[in-house]
Amino acid sequence: MNEKDKELKEKEQKQKKINTKYTELQMFDQQIRQLQQQAQVLQQQASELELVKNILDELTKAEPGSESFVTITPGILVKAKIEKVDEVLLNVGSGTMVEKNIPDTKKILDKQISELRKTETDLITQLDLIIDKAKKTEKELSEIIQNV
């Protein structure tokens, strides 16, 4: 194999390395975006549960027989009379509803919030690892390109 052939082969190998590193960077970027979106969703869900806890606190201050507006769907409300201020109906899955007192309901919400926060923390840990890998790959790619 002559010198030109060796140079050409080396150049091809470097180009393959560049392509591989670039593909890795694209994959890392996609994973980072997905994890960021998932973390955002978890944050939003936890915030919504915190809001529900606040609403439950307000409910306990209401007088039985008082009226309030209840959301049916976003933007659509109905006027309703509050008969019980110390209990709510809680969907426990499969369309099954159970009556729960406010403190027990808040404990359930606290547990759900805690689980969401833990999952979010785990996602952020994964995100940090992937970001570190992406930085390392980016540095390697930069070094390969400089040596071309």
- Tally of structural domains, the chain: 1
3-state secondary structure 78-107: EEEECCCCCEEEEEEECCEEEEEEHHHHHH
Q: Name 85's Cβ contacts closer than 8 Å, sequence gap at least 6.
A: 59, 60, 61, 62, 63, 64
Q: What is the mean pLDDT of each run of 10 residues along the chain (148 residues)?
A: 85 92 96 97 97 92 89 91 90 91 96 98 97 96 86
Question: Could you tell me the residue range of the domain that residue 110 belongs to?
Answer: 3-146
CB 105 within 8 Å of CB 86 = no
Q: Which two tokens stand for residue 6?
A: 């060796």
CATH number of the domain encompassing residue 69:
1.10.287.370
Which pLDDT score, from 0 to 100, does residue 148 have? 66
CB 120 within 8 Å of CB 42 = yes
